[in-house]
Amino acid sequence: MIFSRGYLCRALLLLLIMASLPLAHVSAWGFYAHKRINYQAVFSLPPEMIGFYKSHIQYISENAVNPDRRRYAVKGEAEKHFLDADAYGDSAIYTLPRYWEDAVAVYGEDSLRAHGIAPWSTYQTFLQLVRAMQSRDTKAILRISADLGHYVGDIHVPLHTTKNYNGQLSGQYGIHAFWESRIPELLADGFDFFVGKATFVENPQLAIWKVITNTHEAVDSVLNAERELSATWPEHKKYSYEERGGINTRVHSKAFTMAYQSMLDGQVERQMRKTIKFTADLWYTAWINAGQPSLSPSVDMDFFEQQEKFAPLKELENIREHEGQSDTSLLPWVNTHWKRKEEGSGTLTG
C-alpha cells in the first residue's frame, strides 16, 4: 500500500500529539496519581531512609508508572494489577487462600492468573525489595520501590477487585477512568496528603489482603453512587469537552465529577491517603526486615540514562482495557517502554 507524503505527515503529527497528551488519563489510578502517591510516600519515611529516597524522589515518582507500561509489553504483567474476587463468588474475598501455594492447590495457577493475582504478586514484590535491601543493591531498591508503590496503589482501587472493572456489566462503561483518573486530575490539588510517619507492618502478606478486602467492600458504593447520580443528570451536563493536545475530548464535566466525589464522601481522597501511607509502611518494613542497612544516595548516573528498551506486543494491545477514551487508547504504543529483569527469585513469576 502506498501512502501520500501528506498522509504520512498527518499520521506522524497525530502520533506526536498523542504522545504529548497528559499521562493522567491512562491506566490504573492515572499516571498523575501513581506519581503523586510515590512522591508523597517518601515524606513519611524515617530519617535513616528519607535521605536516600528524597535524593531519588524524581526517579521514584516518575517510574511509578512502569508497571502499567509493562502490561502492554510483558506477558504475565497485567494480571498483577487486579483481582476479580467476585469471579470466585460474592463473598470469596473473605475466603480466598492468603498464601500462593494454598491458592494454587485449590484453584490451579492458570485459573488464578486469569482472574488476577494482585495481592499475591504485591507481596512477592515486597519480598524482592527486602532482598534488594539486604544486598544493598541501590539500583534494584529504586526500581522495586517504584514498582511496589504502583501495585499498592492498584489494590486500593475498588474497580481493580471486581470482574465488573469498567462498569461493562452494569451499563456504566467508562467508570474506571472516571473514578481513578478524572477525580484525582481535577481535585487532588485540594486533597490532604499528610498521612504521618511510616509504621512497621507485622505481617505484610496478611496486611496486603486486609487492604484489598477493605477495598473490595467499596465496589458497591462506587457503582451505586454513579448510577444514582447519572439518573438525575442530563447527558449534556454530565459530560463536557476539553482540548488535549489539539484534540477535543469528551470527559466527565467538572460539576459532575465534584458531585460524584461529594456523593462518595471523599472516597478517592481517602484511598489515595491510604495508598501513600501503606506504600511508606511497606518500604519501611522491608528496610527493617533487611536489617536496617545503610542506604547510600550515590547511584551511577548511567542507571538513570541507560535502561534497556523493549517492544510492546501486539497481542497485548487491548489487554484489560478500561480507559474508555478513544484518544488515549494508543498512548502505551507511542510512549517509551522500559524493561527491567525481575529482581530475585520466587515461586510467583510473571
CA–CA distance, 273 with 89 (Å, rounded to integer): 29
**Is 54 inside a domain boundary?**
yes
**Strand intervals (E) in the chain:** 239-244, 247-252
CA–CA distance, 117 with 104 (Å, rounded to integer): 11
Which of 121, 65, 70, 23 has the alpha carbon at shortest distance from 323?
23
By CB atoms closer than 10 A (0-12, 13-18, 19+), residue 66 is buried
**Is 256 inside a domain boundary?**
no
The DSSP bridge partners found for residue 243 are 248
**Grid cell digits, residue 10:** 498527518
The 3 state secondary structure assigned to 204-232 is: HHHHHHHHHHHHHCCHHHHHHHHHHHHCC
Cα-Cα-Cα-Cα torsion 171, 319, 118, 337, nearest 10 degrees, comes to -130
CATH number at residue 180: 1.10.575.10
CA–CA distance, 179 with 171 (Å, rounded to integer): 15
Going 114 to 116 to 122 to 123, the CA torsion angle's sign is negative
The DSSP bridge partners found for residue 340 are none
Tell me which residue has cell 473490595. Answer: 216
pLDDT in tens, 125-152: 999 999 999 999 999 999 999 999 999 9
**Is 348 inside a domain boundary?**
no
Phi-psi map region of 27: left, alpha, beta (phi>0 left; psi -120 to 50 alpha): left
Q: How far, in Å, are 235, 278, 288 from residue 214 at the CA level?
A: 33, 13, 26
**Is 142 inside a domain boundary?**
yes
| Below-70 pLDDT ranges, the chain | 1-28, 300-312, 314-350
**Is 79 inside a domain boundary?**
yes
CA–CA distance, 90 with 161 (Å, rounded to integer): 12
Residue 42 structural domain: 22-216+267-334
CA–CA distance, 278 with 333 (Å, rounded to integer): 31
The DSSP bridge partners found for residue 241 are 250
**Is 2 inside a domain boundary?**
no
**Is 1 inside a domain boundary?**
no
What is the pLDDT, as a whole number, of residue 128? 98
Domain count, the chain: 1
The DSSP bridge partners found for residue 252 are 239
**Is 37 inside a domain boundary?**
yes
The DSSP bridge partners found for residue 239 are 252
